[in-house]
Structure 1
């Protein structure tokens, strides 16, 4: 396990995070290697995920569009980017639970920052997200969706999502390494959140109860990316909630990381 020479535990934890970020060549190469290893000898590689999602978008678009009597010109782009972004969120949450557990031999035998393993998994999922985003580009071209300069806000939204994803993965990684019963619970919670978050349905369908969405932080993380790509400016409450989520969660995670970082290897 990587450790600095500083005697302060908080400084060592911070040094772990900084050193992990500095070794971007290593975690980016490892993340890309994971993708190549997973789809070795495959003709389409990670585009198999893209193909399956394209089929899902087309099928769900037709079914839910008909059930809710929605205009497909507006619903399919909404669904395409919503599913791609939610897949990224669900993947980082679920993989965060097993990141340290899967890399047990590496953690016990190689002296590298703990944060590097999180960045590796985050980069891997970001690559897959880029593949899945191709579906939205295709749908947007077909239906003539052009966000204009408003679409640039999606870049800031994605960066904010990645910041939140980073502390979520790190926190869940520590919790699930210590308590091995937690990953199945998290997987069930993520599945439940998929249905209560407006991924396949629009918030407008809640009518007067639309305010309930403000209590769901994942809705805000989804909205600050989806709305700009659809040519809409996200509400200030979505930006504020996402920032607050990042600050509060990041601070709490850093406190936990400072205290339990050295125990991760022993928990494995």
Structure 2
């Protein structure tokens, strides 16, 4: 037999599978390491949105201020609420909700909207997820200016125990204190959850383009089921038990409350922290599973 028989040749090294946990984790690590790239892209998104505008990104703050003021005064009048406490409540609710819904709705388009870069730029897919979260964080930072202004105006009523009801009844909140620092881990938990939502739903939406339309409709429904312009006190005693049941089963409420609660000096129940952390763990497990199985196909789907 010829000495160069294939039996005697050393085996060729197998190419690493595109469906591997190592590649999924490597994508996340490399994406986090490319901070300058996704930070620059996210900032450019904000600049491009307000290009040739005199006030530029300040329109973000102005728009939020007008929305919060108008809605807070209107619903405060309808619900006979205490304006000094209800207006900050609505303001912070809208600010955190905009961050939540932005991470979700723009996360659905994470890979679709970056089609050109995905096809021509050899970058980790997680870069585009981080770009989305960073862009929403910049918008949140602009909107928090409204929170600071409103809080300073009504600080006298917010540092003491207060109620949202005009007659002083209802649930008594502790008031703003050192617990306001809990808003930092609350924000981080929302951002971490936003990351897996943008990754998981971004992959699904890239394959099935009808998903964003379905999620948009669901988000509109969840907005009315989340206490942003209403509270349990405004429902009355007869409906309060049902309202509490709705809140307990609304994941967006728990995400909202872990940041809004500390900013307003409200007590955040352990259930909200548990649900938020649990969603982050389960969500990222699913997101990594999808990254493992479908990461290599995204460039063909966009």
Which TM-score tier does this pair reach, normalised by the shorter chain? over 0.9
Higher helix share: 1
**Paired residue for 1:162?**
191
**Structure 2 CA distance for aligned equivalents of residues 114 and 196 of structure 1:** 33
**Paired residue for 1:63?**
74
**Paired residue for 1:53?**
64
TM-score by length of 2: 0.85
**Paired residue for 2:167?**
none
Runs of 4+ in 1 over 6 A off after TM superposition: none
RMSD: 1.3
Deviations 1:162-188 (A, max 9, x none): 000000011111011001111111111
Deviation at 1:254, TM superposition (A): 1.0
**Paired residue for 1:142?**
153
**Structure 2 CA distance for aligned equivalents of residues 245 and 71 of structure 1:** 34
Deviations 1:101-137 (A, max 9, x none): 1111110111100000000111011000110111111
Contact 1:203 1:213 in 2 (8 A): no
1:235 to 257, 269, 281: 269
Say if 2:241 is the partner of 1:208: yes
Rate the CA distance shift 1:251–1:133 in 2: closer, same or farther, 3 A.
same
**Structure 2 CA distance for aligned equivalents of residues 231 and 6 of structure 1:** 52
Rate the CA distance shift 1:35–1:235 in 2: closer, same or farther, 3 A.
same
**Paired residue for 2:34?**
23
**Structure 1 CA distance for aligned equivalents of residues 102 and 203 of structure 2:** 17
Deviations 1:75-118 (A, max 9, x none): 01111111011011111111111111111111011110000000
Which stretches in structure 1 are left out of the alignment for 5+ residues? none
SS of the aligned residue for 2:111 comes to: helix
Contact 2:225 2:246 in 1 (8 A): no
Which stretches in structure 2 are left out of the alignment for 5+ residues? 1-14, 160-175
**Paired residue for 1:172?**
201
**Structure 2 CA distance for aligned equivalents of residues 138 and 243 of structure 1:** 31
**Paired residue for 1:264?**
298
Contact 1:20 1:115 in 2 (8 A): yes
**Paired residue for 2:133?**
122
**Structure 2 CA distance for aligned equivalents of residues 90 and 74 of structure 1:** 24
Deviation at 1:41, TM superposition (A): 1.2
TM-score by length of 1: 0.95
Larger CA deviation: 203-212 vs 21-30: 203-212
1:151 to 173, 177, 180: 180
**Structure 2 CA distance for aligned equivalents of residues 30 and 51 of structure 1:** 24
Deviation at 1:150, TM superposition (A): 0.6
Deviations 1:178-206 (A, max 9, x none): 01111111111111111111111113334
Deviation at 1:6, TM superposition (A): 5.9
